[in-house]
A and B are shown apart, each in its own frame.
Chain A
Amino acid sequence: AQSVTQLGSHVSVSEGALVLLRCNYSSSVPPYLFWYVQYPNQGLQLLLKYTTGATLVKGINGFEAEFKKSETSFHLTKPSAHMSDAAEYFCAVSEYNQGGKLIFGQGTELSVKP
């Protein structure tokens, strides 16, 4: 069975600093990987996804993630944090069967200090 682990339930950075949110997955087949963001009192919104091809994936709002098969990782980064990035972030892997059921990590809450 596939699984996802997000290291750190809470990450705090200063405005303008690098954002790094860690995600490791377990999968016996090539994975489809996603990062979603949840702003307060809202649903989840797709930031970016990796399916095949280029391992460095760019998403919305300046975020990007790199798929590293050797490390079974898909860490999310942003060079310079903005106050509006404060939210909860979820990494997910998609099952090949069951229509693509998403298996989520525990989530990481990002705080941005002025």
Chain B
Amino acid sequence: EAQVTQNPRYLITVTGKKLTVTCSQNMNHEYMSWYRQDPGLGLRQIYYSMNVEVTDKGDVPEGYKVSRKEKRNFPLILESPSPNQTSLYFCATKTGTANTEAFFGQGTRLTVV
């Protein structure tokens, strides 16, 4: 079964404590990305990767890092989380062409206090 798996699903943390949200896909897609969803703003792209060792900033990259050492994994790292990073995060994967659909993980709800 085609899957995009994110962990954890829910996370409450304190300001400044480094955290990692993992994302793994089994569809052999080259393209992976992270979005954050905020009320009234829809989904906004944080970072994306078009292949292994190739990453680039999306629209809201400040405060985030990513890495792509393997094709199937694309972790999102918050080195010093702040309350304005409280949000719902989604990992997505697709082939690298514009006319194909993206497949989304179940989401990670992050609260930074």
Interface residues of A (CB under 8 A from B): 4, 6, 9, 32, 34, 36, 41-46, 49, 51-52, 90, 94-102, 104-107
Q: B14 → chain A, closest Cβ, in Å?
A: 24
Check if A101 sits within 8 Å of B90, measured CB to CB.
Answer: no
Contact of B48 among A34, A42, A51, A99 (CB under 8 A): A99
A81 vs B4: C-alpha distance when bound (angstroms): 30
Check if A106 sits within 8 Å of B96, measured CB to CB.
Answer: no
Please give me the residue from chain B that is nearest to A43 by CB atom.
B104
Check if A43 sits within 8 Å of B31, measured CB to CB.
Answer: no
**9 cross-chain CB contacts under 8 A:** A41-B106, A44-B43, A44-B90, A46-B101, A99-B94, A100-B98, A100-B100, A102-B43, A107-B40
Q: Do A106 and B94 contact each other (CB < 8 Å), given the known contacts A46-B101, A100-B31, A101-B33? A: no
Contact size range, B = 20 to 34
Per-position contact with A for B70-113: 1 when CB-CB < 8 Å, else 0?
00000000000000000000101010111111101111000000
In this assembly, does B58 line the interface, its C-beta being within 8 Å of a C-beta of chain A?
Answer: yes
A13 vs B46: C-alpha distance when bound (angstroms): 34
Q: Do A43 and B4 contact each other (CB < 8 Å), given the known contacts A100-B31, A102-B102? A: yes
Check if B99 sits within 8 Å of A94, measured CB to CB.
Answer: yes
The A contact surface, by secondary structure, is loop
Q: Do A106 and B45 contact each other (CB < 8 Å), given the known contacts A32-B99, A46-B101, A101-B33? A: no
Check if B97 sits within 8 Å of A100, measured CB to CB.
Answer: yes
Residue from the set A46, A102, A105, A107 with the largest chain B CB neighbour count within 10 Å: A102
A94 vs B48: C-alpha distance when bound (angstroms): 14
Residues of A with C-beta under 8 A to B40: 9, 106-107
A66 vs B104: C-alpha distance when bound (angstroms): 24
Residues of A with C-beta under 8 A to B41: 106
A57 vs B107: C-alpha distance when bound (angstroms): 28
Check if B98 sits within 8 Å of A32, measured CB to CB.
Answer: yes
Residues of B with C-beta under 8 A to A6: 42
In this assembly, does B50 line the interface, its C-beta being within 8 Å of a C-beta of chain A?
Answer: yes
